[in-house]
Amino acid sequence: MEDSKQKTNEASFFNENLNISYIDENSLPTPDKKLVVKHYLCSVAVYGTAYILLLFNPFFSSVSTDLTKEIFKIFYLGYILIAPIIYFYYRPKSLWKSHNIEIFNYIKRVFLKIPQLHSLSVEEIKTELESFKPSYLEKQSLMLIFIKFFFGVLMVSSFTKNLDAIIARLESYSMLTGMIKKTLINTDFESFKTTIWTYKDFLYNNLILFLFTIDLSVFCFGYLSELSILKNKIRSVETTAAGLFFCLICYPPFIAINQEFIKLPQNDNYAAFGDINSPLTWICRIPAIIFLIIYVCASIALGTKASNLTNRGTVSKFPYNIVRHPAYISKNMFWLLTIVPMFIVDFNSFGFNIPNYLTRLLLVIIAMIAMVTVYYFRALTEERHLIKDPEYQEYTKKVKYRFIPFII
Instruction: DSSP for 283-326, please give it.
Output: HHHHHHHHHHHHHHHHHHHHGGG--SSEE-----STTTTT-S-H
Last residue of a domain, one of 116, 134, 157: 157
Q: Report helix, strand or coil for 85.
A: helix
Measured CA to CA, the distance from residue 133 to residue 138 in angstroms comes to 9
For residues 259 and 401, membership in a common domain is answered with yes
Nearest partner of 326 among 316, 336, 312, judged by Cα: 316
| pLDDT level of residue 272 (50, 70, 90 thresholds) | very high
Query: What value does the mean pLDDT of the chain take?
Result: 91
For residue 236, the surrounding DSSP H or E stretch is: strand 236-237
Last residue of a domain, one of 157, 177, 197: 157
Domain-embedded: residue 10? no
- Give the pLDDT confidence of 100-156 residue by residue, as tens digits: 999 999 998 888 776 665 666 777 667 767 778 899 999 999 999 999 999 999 999
For residues 109 and 234, membership in a common domain is answered with no
For residues 241 and 119, membership in a common domain is answered with no
Q: Does the pLDDT at position 201 exceed 70?
A: yes
Domain-embedded: residue 281? yes
Last residue of a domain, one of 157, 174, 195: 157
- Give the pLDDT confidence of 209-221 residue by residue, as tens digits: 999 999 999 999 9
Rounded mean pLDDT of 73-84? 96
Give the domain range for residue 389.
Answer: 229-408
CA 124 to chain CA centroid, Å, is 43
Domain-embedded: residue 395? yes
Domain-embedded: residue 2? no
Q: Does the pLDDT at position 176 exceed 90?
A: yes
For residues 111 and 244, membership in a common domain is answered with no
Q: Does the pLDDT at position 325 exceed 60?
A: yes
Cis peptide before 326, with omega less than 30 degrees from 0? no
Question: With contact defined as beta carbons under 8 Å apart, do 372 and 332 qualify?
Answer: yes
Residue 119: what pLDDT?
67
For the chain, what percent of residues have pLDDT higher than 90? 71
Q: What is the number of structural domains in the chain?
A: 2
pTM value is 0.92
**Would you say how long the chain is, in residues?**
408
Question: With contact defined as beta carbons under 8 Å apart, do 323 and 404 qualify?
Answer: yes
Q: Report helix, strand or coil for 354.
A: helix
Q: How does DSSP assign 120-183, residue by residue?
A: S-HHHHHHHHHTTSPPHHHHHHHHHHHHHHHHHHHHHHHHHHHHHHHHHTHHHHHHHHHHHHHH
Nearest partner of 20 among 143, 150, 151, 152, judged by Cα: 143
Residue 262: what pLDDT?
56
Whole-angstrom CA distances from 405 to 16, 80, 173, 369, 399 are 35, 49, 38, 21, 9
Question: With contact defined as beta carbons under 8 Å apart, do 214 and 299 qualify?
Answer: yes
For residues 129 and 29, membership in a common domain is answered with yes
Domain-embedded: residue 180? no
Domain-embedded: residue 11? no
Q: Report helix, strand or coil for 367.
A: helix
Residue 348: what pLDDT?
84
Domain-embedded: residue 212? no
Measured CA to CA, the distance from residue 341 to residue 271 in angstroms comes to 5
For residues 252 and 383, membership in a common domain is answered with yes
Domain-embedded: residue 164? no
Residue 4: what pLDDT?
76
Longest dimension (CA), the chain: 90
Residue partners of 166: CB distance under 8 A and separation at least 6: 209, 210, 213
- Give the pLDDT confidence of 20-51 residue by residue, as tens digits: 999 988 889 999 999 999 999 999 999 999 99
Measured CA to CA, the distance from residue 127 to residue 185 in angstroms comes to 80
| Burial (CB count <10 Å: 0-12, 13-18, 19+), residue 149 | buried
| Cα angle 220, 399, 302; round to 5 | 10
Q: What is the CATH number of the domain that holds 245?
A: 1.20.120
For residues 36 and 131, membership in a common domain is answered with yes
